[in-house]
Amino acid sequence: RTQIFPDQSSSIFSKNESPDIPFSVSINAYRCCEHGCIYCFARPTQEYFDLSAGIDFESKIFAKFDAARLLEKEFRKPKYIPQTIALSGVTDIYQPVERRLQITRSLLRVFAAYRHPVALITKSPLIMRDTDILSALAESDLVRAYISITSLDPNLARRMEPRASTPAARLRALETLSHRGIKTGVMLAPQIPFVNDHEMEAMPAAA
């Protein structure tokens, strides 16, 4: 059973200086993730809070209920310099709980109101719910939407990502977003030797 807890972080931005990451500022609307991907690099972060990197990571979700207000507060600072902000640098902004909480949608409303560039990364077709806001951002070339695809085999995908959407649903989301004029891309990581690396050509071809 999924449990939701408030994340009371005082700042909404996560910053990095890594030359290997194509953005320096990101926002994570949620800490932990219901998708339960077996390879997730974010799992160990749960142990900083004396929780398990296993089942706790998948079932105890921390939500930033105040995210939209904190984002607008940052945008209104006199010294703020706009740059593309990535949504979902660590855990998925469209994991199942987003259907009910709509924190990601509230953030997108702020981006649209301030005409601010944003990039999104997700495994979920729930992103299609927000095509109204994304299309408005796309009219000014302010948005990029990336869909993560790790396999075209639904059985393999289910073993690697137990509660994420099917590969077919992700491809449909990619098609829908593209047809709505939203610039899209695909993320093909991780490539795991002898598990999914044989699909390295098939996945971008399908996309």
Biggest distance spanned by C-alpha atoms of the chain: 52
CB 171 within 8 A of CB 206: yes
Q: Cβ contacts of residue 65 below 8 Å, gap of 6+?
A: 6, 7, 101, 103
3-41: burial string, b at 16+ Cβ within 10 Å, e else? eeeebeeeebeeeeeeeeeeeeebbbbbbbbbbbbeebe
Per residue of the chain (207 residues), give pLDDT as tens. Answer: 899 999 988 889 988 777 777 777 899 999 999 999 999 999 998 888 899 999 999 999 999 999 999 999 999 999 999 999 999 878 999 999 999 999 999 999 999 999 999 999 999 999 999 999 999 999 999 999 999 999 999 999 999 999 999 999 999 999 999 999 999 999 999 999 999 999 999 999 999
Reported pTM: 0.94
Q: Among 176, 188, 122, 202, which Cα is nearest to 149's? A: 188
Q: Cβ contacts of residue 106 below 8 Å, gap of 6+?
A: 67, 68
| Three-state DSSP state, 62 | strand
